[in-house]
Amino acid sequence: MRRGRRAALQELATCAALACCLGAAACGLVGGRGGEDRARADAVAQRPPPADLVLSGGAVYTVDAVRSWAQAVAIRDGRIAYVGDDAGATPFVGAGTKRAPLAGRMLLPAFQDAHVHPVDAGVSGRQCALFDLASAAALVERVLRCAREHPEWPWIVGGGWLVDNFLPSGLPDKKLLDAVVPDRPIALASSDGHSLWVNSRALEAAGIGAATPDPPGGRIDRYPGTREPSGSLQEEAMELVRRVRPPVAPGEIKAGLRDAVAHLNALGITAVQDALVKVEPDDGSLAAYRALDDAGELSLLVVAALFLEPGKPIDAQLAGFVAARARYTRGNLRATAVKIMEDGVIEPQTAALLEPYADRPGYRGELLHPPERLREAVIRLDAAEFQIHFHAIGDAAVRASLDAVAAARAANGARDARHQIAHLQLVDPADVPRLRELRVVANFQPLWAIRDRYITELTLPRIGPRRARWLYPIGSVARSGAVLAFGSDWSVSSADPLLGIEVAVTRLGPEGETAEPLLPEQAIGLAEAIAAYTIGAAHANGLDTETGSIEVGKRADLVVLDRDLFAAPPAEISEAAVVATLFGGTVVHGRL
């Protein structure tokens, strides 16, 4: 039957060709030299314009809707003109086309970070940087070196120290700093940004003493049994010192941002959401982004999340956000999101929990925005068409954030808002399906989901074993159908997406620092993890029509890896190297 049909079709084609020839003014139109010329002319007319760059011979994982694979990609004018096999890319090669053989290497959409702090990370790297130091003694030694190398600094500022450097409490002591630098104020932020370690001179400069009350939403840590400040400040109490220390000069902010952009590009990242940008008081971030973009130096697409200050009137802040959005949103920068910090972190007991802390009976922590204020703010911001980026660590903060989004939907109607909750360290199981129901993006930092000292010696004693089953429930949220987006919270932790991907898949420390996975049932597959750092993060950033997958018409924001991640053992994913990063078709890191 099939053969007969094919023969009939061939006969019809032959008859049609004969009829064309007999009815034409000259049979040379379909045969002979004239036909060859016409065929050649038709082929030239149908040939696509030459591409600027053709990448071929690779393992191209497109992360499109059906997760298809290809071999080659052609790029023209900064956008993807072709995706398919190598043979199909041939017509896109012209005299001026650069050809880049991938030789089996992997091509992915460039990574995106849905929760990161590029300005803060870049600037802190130029200050007294305390990252990756494993003991209090090492921290003190670094501070002393900073003081000796920079006698011109009126204050010693910086950060990056880990809470687990000060076990079992997680709270540093001012006396350690007083012993090495007694004559200058010192203010050093923790790696998570929720605590400030200060010496006595800094406390004096800020007017903080035994009689100073804790500010709303903050805590001045004190020596047990006394009112004397011990040298660590939590949450809003940090502002007491920050408002009196010298501001960072605009030139230093821009220099730090340049460093951060180069670092992120080197990791294959071309789009980010800066998760905390202050408008009032102005922290200089938006001006730095605008200056670099105007100079052609911002090789990132940036969404800025403008910070809603706790305790300050919403009206004035909303007006400031609207003005900032209008002033700064153009080019590679969008000031279209608002950051709401709804609680702190579990380790110093500033996260908001539904049930009391296991090691502090009766105490549940505090919401930085009480429920009524939070609902009002979210309704107003949603009506003004801002995306809302919540910080929620504890299960009470997660619930309050979801309740506020539900109130906004009831008041304003449903829209494609892309509201997201970042961190989600502890989630009550009843709230997992609400993420999908309310179309809230689950923005996880997967690198934290390991059984390290933070978890075993600081987190677990504070929440107990029953609640610990819901730490970083990435797998449960993925199975619920909610949109997953990944971020790093750099400089809190490494910005390297390959590290995060490996942890999401294994729930083990990517550098061999843990032997037992943290809740292995919450692991996800490699395809899901890659999607969370590409199309999922692009969705969270509102960029998914332009980036996040390798499809014709989208921006040529791409990353070349030295190996196919799907062919690598899960424990070796983070060993892959970024060969090149392309931003709008231009190589901004590495080489092809």
Q: Of the candidates 115, 117, 119, 141, which has an alpha carbon nearest to the alpha carbon of residue 128?
A: 141
Contact yes or no for 332/265 (Cβ under 8 A): no
Taking alpha carbons only, the member of 414, 395, 403 closest to residue 466 is 395
**337 three-class SS:** strand
The DSSP annotation for 380-449 comes to HHHHTT-EEEEEE-SHHHHHHHHHHHHHHHHHH-------EEEE--B--GGGHHHHHHTT-EEEE-GGG-
Amino acid at 582: L
Sign of the dihedral through C-alpha 121, 124, 129, 133: negative
- Residue 248 DSSP code: P
Q: Which two tokens stand for residue 284?
A: 């200089």
**Cβ(507)–Cβ(449) below 8 Å:** yes
- Enter the DSSP assignment of 246: P
Average pLDDT for residues 430-446, to the nearest whole number? 98
Q: What is the pLDDT of residue 101?
A: 98
- Beginning with the edge strand found earlier in the chain, give each strand of the sheet holding 53-56 in spatial order: 79-84, 72-76, 53-56, 98-101
- The pLDDT-based confidence of 357 (bands split at 50, 70, 90) is very high
Q: How far apart are CA 105 and CA 87, in angstroms?
A: 18
**Which residues contact residue 73 at a Cβ distance below 8 angstroms, ignoring those fewer than 6 apart?**
54, 55, 60, 80, 82, 83, 89, 107, 550, 556, 558
Q: How confident is the model at residue 37 (pLDDT cuts 50, 70, 90)?
A: low
Q: Please write the tens of the pLDDT for every residue from 246-294.
A: 999 999 999 999 999 999 999 999 999 999 999 988 999 999 999 999 9
CA pair distance 108, 398, nearest whole angstrom: 32
Question: Pairing between strand 229-235 and 578-583?
Answer: unpaired
Whether residue 36 is predicted with pLDDT greater than 90 in this model: the reply is: no
Give the chain's count of helices (H) and strands (E). 20, 24
Strands (E), 445-549: 484-486
* Position 508 confidence tier, pLDDT thresholds 50, 70, 90: very high
pLDDT at position 134 is 85
What is the rounded distance in angstroms from the CA atom of residue 428 to the CA atom of residue 526?
Answer: 26
Give yes or no for residue 516 having a pLDDT over 80.
Answer: yes
12, pLDDT greater than 50? no
Q: What is the pLDDT of residue 9?
A: 29
Beta-bridge partner residues of 69: 61
- Taking only the tens place, the pLDDT of each residue in 62-82 is 999 999 999 999 999 999 999
Question: How high is the pLDDT of residue 131?
Answer: 86
**The pLDDT value given to residue 40:** 54
Which pLDDT does position 143 carry in this prediction? 94
Give the tokens for residue 184.
């200058």
Higher pLDDT, 42 or 72: 72
- The answer to whether residue 102 scores a pLDDT higher than 60 is yes
Is the pLDDT at 56 greater than 90? The verdict is: yes
- 492: CB partners within 8 A, 6+ apart: 117, 191, 192, 193, 445
Sheet holding 269-277, edge to edge: 111-116, 269-277, 301-307, 333-341, 387-392, 420-423, 441-444, 484-486
Rounded CA separation 174/197 (Å):
7
Query: Distance between CA atoms of 298 and 137, rounded to whole angstroms?
Result: 38
Contacts of 44 (CB under 8 A, 6+ apart): none
Residue 46: the pLDDT is 79
- Asked whether 230 and 214 are in contact (CB, 8 A), the reply is no
> What confidence category does residue 438 fall into, taking pLDDT thresholds of 50, 70 and 90?
very high
| Joined tokens for residue 427 | 């989630």
Of 16-25, 147-156, 300-309, 362-371, which gets the smallest average pLDDT? Answer: 16-25
Helix (H, G, I), strand (E, B) or coil at 485: strand
The CA distances from residue 129 to 266, 345, 401, 438, 472, in Å, are 20, 22, 33, 40, 28
Contact by Cβ (8 Å): 146, 159: no
Alpha carbons 42 and 26: distance in angstroms, whole number: 18
Amino acid found at 304: A
What's the rounded Cα separation, in Å, for the pair 575 and 568? 9
Residue 514 has pLDDT above 50, yes or no: yes
What are the residue ranges of helices labelled H in 47-127? 86-89, 118-124
Whole-number Cα distances in Å, 331 to 59, 177, 241, 518, 589:
32, 44, 36, 42, 21
For residue 306, name the pLDDT band (cuts at 50, 70, 90). Answer: very high
Confidence (pLDDT) at 217? 87
- Per-residue pLDDT of 178-208, as tens digits, reads 999 999 999 999 888 889 999 999 999 999 9
Is residue 111 scored above 90 in pLDDT? yes
Q: Can you read off the two tokens belonging to residue 119?
A: 């300005």
157 to 123, 124, 182, 193, 540: CA distances (angstroms):
10, 8, 14, 13, 33
Residue 92 CB neighbour total at 10 angstroms: 23
Which of 539, 480, 478 lies closest to 504, judged by CA? 478
Tell me how far apart the alpha carbons of residues 181 and 21 are, in angstroms, rounded to a whole number.
97
Q: Is residue 28 over pLDDT 50?
A: no
Cα 211 to Cα 222: distance, rounded to the nearest angstrom: 11
Residue listed under structure tokens 């037992």: 516
